[in-house]
Every structure is written in structure tokens, then in C-alpha cells.
Amino acid sequence: MKSLIAILLAFALQFSSGYFQRYEPWKIISNGHSLKGWMTIGSKGRVFVQDSAIVCHMTANTLLHTFAINTTNKY
């Protein structure tokens, strides 16, 4: 009986330890109005902000997306 209580107590402590962990809050990486802090890498695709989202359009007459958009900030 004592071993069963010990096992249940160990399981309860292990399970509850994750519950009390503190998580870092989400970080906003775009202001939703401009591309300040962002840069385009590769060919010149069309990148703009629309309805608070970053929208990327590939260059006309190309088969692949040949560019990327990266933030200049470090997270």
C-alpha cells in the first residue's frame, strides 16, 4: 500500500510541475501597418501589408518563389 501511495505521489508531482511553469508571452513581430524591420532576400517579389498581414507575391513570369522575407530583429 505504501508503494502505491509513493508511486501516485511521484506521478502527481511530476504531472503538476509542468502546470506551474512560466511561459514567455508571445512577441509581436509585425506592427500590422508597415514592413519596418523586415527585408526581402532574393529576387524582387512584391511584398506589402494588407489587413494587418504580410502578403508576398512572386515576380511575374517566374515558376518558383525566388525570394524570402526576413525580420532584421533578433528574437
pTM above 0.75, yes or no: no
Contact of 42 with 70, CB cutoff 8 Å: no
Distances, alpha carbon 16 to alpha carbons 6, 20, 32, in Å:
15, 7, 38
Tens digit of pLDDT per residue, the chain (75 long)? 667 777 777 766 666 555 556 677 888 888 889 988 888 887 767 888 999 888 888 777 776 666 778 888 877
Position 68 scores a pLDDT of: 78
Position 13 scores a pLDDT of: 65
**C-alpha of 53 from chain center:** 14
Position 50 scores a pLDDT of: 92
Specify the 3-state DSSP secondary structure of 39: strand
Amino acid letter, 32: G
